[in-house]
Homo-oligomer: A and B are copies of this chain.
Amino acid sequence: VLRHWDKVRTIRVALLGLGTVGGGFVRLVEREHARIRDRIGLEIEIAAILVRDREKDRGDVDRSLITTTAVDVIDAGCDVVVELVGGVHCAGAYVRRAINNGSHVVTANKALLAATGRELFDAASANGVQIGFEASVCGGVPVVRALRRGLAGDSLESITGILNGTSNYVLSRMEDGLPFADAVKLAQEHGFAEAHPTLDLSGEDAAQKLEILTSLGFDSEVVSRSVHGIEWIDVDDVARARRRGNVFRQVAEARRVAGGVALTVAARELPLAHPLASVRDENNGVVFRGNAVGEVMLTGRGAGSLPTAAAVLSDVIEIGSA
């Protein structure tokens, strides 16, 4: 009702990676493309897909689109390149090439943005293309848009969040009485944790996401960075906190200090009435404190195939509608 379009436009998408999120993206486009065409006037066409293993079973995916040669996909002349291979080195080379080709880029790759975001955004600007990265922080929860757009009129005081679903799932299971190692194993069995969940449990994953939000929300430089994991917490610590009416959460926080912004990631004991205490299991939550708006909180599923794919698709739609 509130959108208008005259003529259906087509946006051609080159997809790099057909793993958890990439596979979810293909399924979601398949399911939603008719609705998006009818409602927004945008036809989304996946024109080429890069995979690592050509022989692997890909279900319903059109095999004629699949290749193992990255340049064939990146140079296919698509409007937007969706980078979902992860990692920093290959992904960075792919994204740079796409930008130099004049393609827009959408990525879920927080490690890449944390490592080389400034350079990539400069290159995108010089080439007149956009980089969409809603999926890089908190999966399906639109925190990047909330910060860039919704809070654009306000000065930010702090960002406080639960940005790592694996750690939060582990701490939630420890509240149920499970020892740390068993909780980690359960997270792995449920697919919330990698085989080596070091980045998650050490706080580094949350710190990378916090850096992305900080660069969006604050004008000043990061002057300190303190990152601690949750491995030191014992199930008895959690039980003792519980008796005091508190819960443990891995809290990532960016806060204005003299000379800039201080980043901390640490396990903290929070009272049950704290907004982030209500974020449970594999969920994520972020509280933005603005000078004018006060506290605005967003919560939801911060990872997973379809939630993350929905964030990727929202960026593709926004680029296609511009």
Which A residues fall within an 8 A CB radius of B?
A: 1-2, 4, 24, 28, 31-32, 35-36, 38-40, 117-118, 121-122, 125, 134, 139-142, 145-146, 148-155, 215-216, 219, 275, 278, 290-301, 306-307, 309-314, 316-318
Contact = CB atoms under 8 A, between A and B. Distances in A.
A136 to B, nearest CB: 12
8 contacts: A1-B117, A39-B219, A145-B146, A150-B311, A154-B310, A292-B310, A293-B300, A296-B299
Contacts of A278: 275, 278
Tell me how many chains of this kind the complex includes.
2
A9 B314 CA distance: 28
B2 A215 contact: yes
A314 B153 contact: yes
Contacts of A314: 149-154
A145 to B, nearest CB: 5
Contacts of A4: 121-122, 125
Given A35-B219, A215-B1, A298 B301 contact: no
A313 B151 CA distance: 9
Nearest to A301: B294
A5 B293 CA distance: 26
Given A1-B118, A298-B297, A317-B153, A292 B145 contact: no
